[in-house]
């Protein structure tokens, strides 16, 4: 199968190899696309695909912006959530604010409490106490659809109890984002916390454009209008029957075809530190959406494609040997940025030139591009398949388009694999056993 190139910009997406287009399962994809368009046209919030409505619905954006304005500008935001309750906001923040935004702007930090790890929680408590003792404003945004997620509940209570009794000039605000009528909403109302709602049928991994992602991003100054505008524009492209210009359909068909050929590992090879968080977000999206024991008819199939994330150029020095010399069981998605937000240049230095010829006087983007294209040339020489995805920049509009495209891609991929893109029944197995072990102690 030929290597393919896909560019996410306003002019449309076109594959370098038109021969591939003949291989796309047109009829099957068009049936699914018609169903997804119907959800949007009918504004069907009862559908499990109703996350498609979020990009064009102003309810979550309006409520998130209004509450963010009321809360004010905090010095520290702690998102207490796990999986879909945190990965989307982190992906957008890292892309739009930069991967080191917390260090560059210590007076406005965004941190995540997403696992029950003692040292990590102790460090978060120390950081939050430092903000409060310095007259800062700390916002805890606890996010859980049901409120019954063990990790989230435990982390939230540790932070709340450890901070609410402090006598300082700082300010502590708690906001709960949850389903209407959930146990967490009831708790929040009893304690007087502000609340934001999640649409009932929007699952966690599809919730980034709901208040789950929008509220903490609004507190950090991310342009929500641009984010949703990019998503809405991409939604129109990805629901189109013109598959030659539909990037989600093309990607779904590619991933599916390679999985059928035995390449059941799909690696996001990301040549931008700002987008590594988006790779981790996609990992959950794919893992939970297509990793299923049963197909739509109830037959046991144990379907799935394993998503992995590689960071260029770091993982060229840790994984390239395996990728280039190991088994041909992977399909790669190279992701890069055409116009990075900053582009320093190496100094013109004779000693540097002697160490590494042609390295002096080069922009970072030129070095990264040379490494990226060199890597792709090496992959092509080994006949290792990949798609080349290039974003114009890491603006809110571009990252909104990327996330929306990949969510629709996953719905289409699940359709091709004949599995349910929206449920996650196997996740309950570890939760059930965890509750049993805790009850026995």
Task: Report pLDDT digits (tens) over 382-396.
Answer: 999 999 999 999 999
Higher pLDDT, 200 or 440: 200
Residue 437 falls within a domain, yes or no?
no
Contact 419, 366 (CB under 8 A): no
Q: Is residue 422 part of a domain?
A: no
In this structure, are residues 177 and 198 in contact, taking their beta carbons and an 8 Å threshold? yes
The neighbour count for residue 307, using CB atoms within 10 Å, is: 22
15 with 76, same domain: the answer is no
SS (H, E, C) the chain: CCCEEEECCCCCCCCCCHHHHHHCCHHHHHHHHHHHHHHHHCCCCCCCCHHHHHHHCCHHHHHHHHHHHHHCCCCEEEEECCHHHCHHHHHHHHHHHCCCHHHHCCCCEEEEECCCCHHHHHHHHHHHHHHHHCCCEEEEEEECCCCCCHHHHHHHHHHHHHHHCCCCCCEEEEEEEEECCCHHHHHHHHHCCEEEEECCCCCHHHCCCCHHHHHHHHHCCCCHHHHHHHHHHHHHHHCCCCHHHCHHHHHHHHHHHHHHCCCCEEEEEECCHHHHHHHHHHHHHHHHHHCEEECCCCCEEEECCEEEEEECCHHHHCCHHHHHHCCCCEEEEEEEECCCCCCCECCCCHHHHHHCCCCCCCEHHHHHHHHHHHHHHHHHHCCCCEEEEEECCCCHHHHHHHHHHHHHHHHHHHHHHCCCCCCCCCHHHHHHHHHHHHHHC
Mean pLDDT along residues 175-185 = 96
Whether 427 maps to a domain, the answer reads no
Q: Are residues 237 and 368 in the same domain?
A: yes
In 3D space, the residue among 417, 9, 392, 422 whose CA is nearest the CA of residue 237 turns out to be 9
Q: Please check whether residue 431 lies inside any domain of the structure.
A: no
Which of 222, 240, 271 is the last residue in one of the domains?
A: 222
Residue 172 has pLDDT above 60, yes or no: yes
- Distance of alpha carbon 21 from alpha carbon 165, whole angstroms: 62
Per cent of the chain over pLDDT 90 is 81
Main-chain dihedrals φ then ψ at residue 83, nearest 5 degrees: 65, -125
Query: Edge to edge, what strands does the sheet with 265-270 contain?
Result: 4-7, 386-391, 330-337, 265-270, 306-311
Tell me which residue range forms the domain holding 201.
50-222
Pick the closest to residue 404 from 238, 284, 249 (CA basis): 238
Same domain, residue pair 124 and 239: no
Beta bridge partners of 264: none
Residues 249 and 324 in one domain: yes
Q: Model confidence at 10, in pLDDT bands (50, 70, 90)?
A: very low
Give the CATH number of the domain where residue 158 resides.
Answer: 3.40.50.10490
Does residue 275 lie in a domain region?
Answer: yes
Active-site residue list: 288, 317, 431
Q: What is the pLDDT of residues 395-413, one digit of tens each?
A: 999 999 999 999 999 999 9
- Residue 245: exposure state from Cβ atoms within 10 A (0-12, 13-18, ≥19): middle
Average pLDDT, the chain: 92
Question: Do residue 20 and residue 109 come from a single domain?
Answer: no
Does 429 map to a domain?
A: no
Q: How far apart are CA 208 and CA 96, in angstroms?
A: 14
Buried b or exposed e, range 136-169, using 16+ CB within 10 angstroms: bbbbbbbbbbebebebbbebbebbbebbeeeeee
294 against 431, higher pLDDT: 294
| Predicted confidence band of residue 18 (pLDDT cuts 50, 70, 90) | very low
Domain boundary among 169, 193, 222: 222
User: How is residue 232 written in tokens?
Assistant: 């809405």
Judge whether 260 and 416 are in contact, CB under 8 Å.
no
Are 74 and 33 part of one and the same domain?
no
Whether 192 and 132 map to the same domain: the answer is yes
Q: Are residues 305 and 338 in the same domain?
A: yes
267 in any annotated domain: yes
The answer to whether residue 439 is domain-embedded is: no
Domain count, the chain: 2
Spatial contact of 144 and 178, defined as CB atoms under 8 Å apart: yes
**pLDDT over 70 (residue 22):** no
Tell whether 204 and 349 lie within a shared domain.
no
pLDDT digits (tens, 9 = 90+) for 230-284: 999 999 999 999 988 899 999 999 999 999 999 999 999 999 999 999 999 999 9
Measured CA to CA, the distance from residue 164 to residue 143 in angstroms comes to: 18
Structure tokens at 419: 């599995």
Q: Are residues 72 and 202 in the same domain?
A: yes
**Residue 147 region by backbone torsions, left for phi larger than 0, else alpha for psi between -120 and 50, else beta:** left
Query: Residue 351: what pLDDT?
Result: 79
- 174, 193, 222: which is the final residue of a domain? 222
Asked if residue 14 has pLDDT above 60, the reply is no
In terms of domains, do 172 and 294 share one?
no
Asked if the model's pLDDT at residue 424 lies above 80, the reply is: yes
Q: Does residue 17 contact residue 401 with C-beta atoms inside 8 Å? A: no
Q: Are residues 259 and 408 located together in one domain of the fold?
A: yes
């Amino acid at each position: 199968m030929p290597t393919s190139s896909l560019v996410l910009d306003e002019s449309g997406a076109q594959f370098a190899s038109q021969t591939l287009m003949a291989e796309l399962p047109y009829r099957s994809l068009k049936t699914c696309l018609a169903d997804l368009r119907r959800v949007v046209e009918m504004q069907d919030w009862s559908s499990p695909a109703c996350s498609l409505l979020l990009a064009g619905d102003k309810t979550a954006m309006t409520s998130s912006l209004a509450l963010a304005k009321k809360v004010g500008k905090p010095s520290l935001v702690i998102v207490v959530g796990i999986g879909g309750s945190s990965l989307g906001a982190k992906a957008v923040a890292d892309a739009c604010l930069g991967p080191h935004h917390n260090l560059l702007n210590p007076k406005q930090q965004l941190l995540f409490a997403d696992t029950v790890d003692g040292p990590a929680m102790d460090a978060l408590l120390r950081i939050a106490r430092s903000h409060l003792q310095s007259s800062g404003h700390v916002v805890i945004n606890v996010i859980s659809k049901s409120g019954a997620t063990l990790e989230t509940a435990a982390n939230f209570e540790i932070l709340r109890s450890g901070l609410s009794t402090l006598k300082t000039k700082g300010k502590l605000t708690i906001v709960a984002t949850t389903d209407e009528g959930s146990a967490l909403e009831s708790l929040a109302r009893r304690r007087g916390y502000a609340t934001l709602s999640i649409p009932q049928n929007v699952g966690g991994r599809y919730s980034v454009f709901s208040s789950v992602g929008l509220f903490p991003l609004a507190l950090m100054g991310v342009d929500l209008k641009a984010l949703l505008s990019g998503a809405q524009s991409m939604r129109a492209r990805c629901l189109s029957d013109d598959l030659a210009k539909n990037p989600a359909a093309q990607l779904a068909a590619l991933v599916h075809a390679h999985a059928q050929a035995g390449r059941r590992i799909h690696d996001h090879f990301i040549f931008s530190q700002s987008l590594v968080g988006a790779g981790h977000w996609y990992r959950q999206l794919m893992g939970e959406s297509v990793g299923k024991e049963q197909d739509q008819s109830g037959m046991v199939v144990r379907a799935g494609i394993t998503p992995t994330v590689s960071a260029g150029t770091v993982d060229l020095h840790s994984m390239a040997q395996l990728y280039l010399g190991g088994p041909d069981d992977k399909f790669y998605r190279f992701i890069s940025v055409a116009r990075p937000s900053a582009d320093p240049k190496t100094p013109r230095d004779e000693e540097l030139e002697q160490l590494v010829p042609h390295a002096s006087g080069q922009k970072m983007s030129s070095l990264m591009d040379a490494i990226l294209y060199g890597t792709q040339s090496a992959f092509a020489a080994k006949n290792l398949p990949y798609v080349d995805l290039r974003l114009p920049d890491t603006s809110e509009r571009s990252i909104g388009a990327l996330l929306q495209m990949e969510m629709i891609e996953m719905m289409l991929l699940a359709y091709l694999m004949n599995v349910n893109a929206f449920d996650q029944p196997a996740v309950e197995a570890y939760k059930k056993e965890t509750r049993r072990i805790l009850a026995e102690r």
